[in-house]
Amino acid sequence: MIASALAYTYALEGQYGRAKELLNATLERRIRVSGENHIEALLIQERLAFVQRSERDFAGAEALLAKVLAARRRVLSSAHPDTLGTGCSLGFVQIKQQKYAEAETTLRDTLGAFDRFEVDTWQRHNCRALLGMSLAAQGRTDQARQPLRDGYEGLSNRQASIGVPNLFYMEEARNAVARLN
Mean pLDDT of 55-67: 97
3-state secondary structure 147-164: HHHHHHHHHHHCHHHCCH
Count, residues in the chain? 181
Instruction: Centre a 10 Å sphere on the Cβ of residue 105 and count the other Cβ atoms it contains.
Output: 14
Percent of the chain with pLDDT over 90: 86
Confirm if 122 and 84 have CB atoms less than 8 A apart: no
Query: Is domain 56-181 annotated with CATH 1.25.40.10?
Result: yes
Cβ burial of 17 (10 Å; 0-12, 13-18, 19+) is exposed
Average pLDDT, the chain: 94
What are the domain boundaries of the chain? 1-55, 56-181
88 confidence band (pLDDT: 50, 70, 90): very high
Residue 179 has pLDDT above 80, yes or no: yes
120 confidence band (pLDDT: 50, 70, 90): confident
Instruction: Centre a 10 Å sphere on the Cβ of residue 101 and count the other Cβ atoms it contains.
Output: 11
pLDDT at 1: 67
